[in-house]
Chains A and B, each alone.
Chain A
Amino acid sequence: MIAATGEAIAQAFDELRNLDADAIRKQRRQKFLDIGRKLG
């Protein structure tokens, strides 16, 4: 189970690997704003 967790974490980091700092911040900010706008 812990190995499978490691796979999932590695995959999540791989998706963010090529983003620069500003893109990472913007994506994170947008993700949480969307929670309020789309799910609220």
Chain B
Amino acid sequence: MSSRRAGELRDPYRVIYRWSAVARRFTTLPGLAHFAALATERSRLPSGAYSEHGASGSGMRAKSLKNARFHGADQNHFAPRHVPPYIAVMPDPMRSYLDFEKPVAELESKIDELRALAATGSDIGDEIARIEDKAAQALAELYANLTPWQKTLVARHPQRPHFTDFVNGLITEFTPLAGDRKFADDEALMGGFGRFRGESICVIGQEKGATTESRIKHNFGMARPEGYRKAVRLMEMADRFGIPVLSIVDSAGAYPASAPRSAGQAEAIARSTDACLSLGVPNVAIVTGEGMSGGAIAITTANRVLMFEHAIYSVISPEARVLDPVARRHQGPGSRQQHEDHRAGHAALRRDRPASSRNPPAALTATPPP
């Protein structure tokens, strides 16, 4: 048995302290929180308070615990006690920052600390205002000079509003419709009818989800063929009843797995694009995050295409672009230059060939026999 394990057996509080480190991270359970607080306090006792007598001194241990007079020694240890939650030390647990936003995150963390200090009565309002201005300026400078990849990250920010947020904020009496009437429903591409400023409207769009569960449920906004068939069904219904169509686009593309591809992904996208082009009612599309590839164009072929400031709309996602053999021609082995040299070589060969070899054989050009 290792000495560490033996030590734990001799002193169960050592085990409790080890587990309290875990418990402190999950203080949402009141029992765990109390347990963590108790174990932490005991661990702060002077070492002689209860360990000098070893494993056999259980009676002495109680005596030494009493002598130590640690905080709460004469109280009920199992009574609920306030423990500051783990997330209380974070500046804003609901806000997530991108890597390049670190300077702004640090400033906002400082602002939160100062606000907490101000709540206790300190007069630091001017200092808070000064740092708030500094944070706002840093954020503006940061977003004025975004690189293409940073812009992509912003377009994919997990806290951007999604389809459901726009529907909740803009559409009243929304009635979602499900299923393509052929195979299944696709939660990645949602749609239905409702009222926008009092008038009937058909809304379709990709939903990425806001939590891990909902992201899995909505397949991260990557639609399958049944999703595009559902979009076609809704657009045809809207056209039949003369209802305008609003598309809310936020997708990294159609789901690229082999099963949807063999189930007719390309055809479904093409039919959805065709349905968009055939609509006899006004169609407005808005790219709220990323509009990538056929997954987006299937519902974005509209009369008006609007985009958010930090949204991206591209023929293909940046990751797929890196894997694209056409893009690879621009650099490295097999580059475009090499490709063009190769073509130039072929052209030179054709040019240098004798004229007789360029012309088809006489037998082929001869007039057919009567």
Contact = CB atoms under 8 A, between A and B. Distances in A.
Interface in B167-216: 169-170, 196-197
Contact of A21 (B161, B166, B246, B280): B280
A21 B303 CA distance: 12
Contact of B284 (A9, A27, A31): A9
Interface string B66-81: 0000000000000000
Contact of B169 (A3, A25, A29, A32): A3
B290 to A, nearest CB: 16
State the main secondary structure of chain B at its contact with A. mixed
B169 A15 contact: no
A32 B301 contact: yes
B277 A9 contact: no
A6 interface: yes
A6 B303 CA distance: 17
A27 B303 contact: yes
A2 to B, nearest CB: 4
B281 A9 contact: no
Nearest to A8: B306
B169 A10 contact: no
B298 to A, nearest CB: 13
Contacts of A32: 277, 301
Contacts of B161: 1-2
Contact of B283 (A3, A6, A28): A28
A31 B302 CA distance: 9
B281 A24 contact: yes
A11 to B, nearest CB: 9
Contact of A2 (B170, B277, B283, B302): B170
Nearest to A19: B282
A16 B282 contact: yes
Contacts of A15: 304
Nearest to A6: B170
Interface size class of A (residues with CB under 8 A): 20 to 34
Interface string B266-286: 000000000011111111101
B181 to A, nearest CB: 25
Instruction: Pick the most buried of A8, A9, A15, A21: most chain B CB atoms within 10 A of its CB.
Output: A9
A2 B303 contact: no
B272 to A, nearest CB: 14
Contacts of A12: 284, 303-304, 306
Contacts of A21: 280-281
A1 B283 CA distance: 22
B92 interface: no
A2 B170 CA distance: 7
Contact of B280 (A3, A8, A9, A24): A24
Nearest to A28: B303
Contacts of A16: 244, 282, 284, 303-304
B165 interface: yes
Instruction: Pick the most buried of B166, B197, B282, B302: most chain A CB atoms within 10 A of its CB.
Output: B282
A15 B306 CA distance: 13
Contacts of B169: 2-3, 5-6
Interface of B: 161, 165-166, 169-170, 196-197, 244, 246, 276-284, 286, 288, 301-304, 306, 308
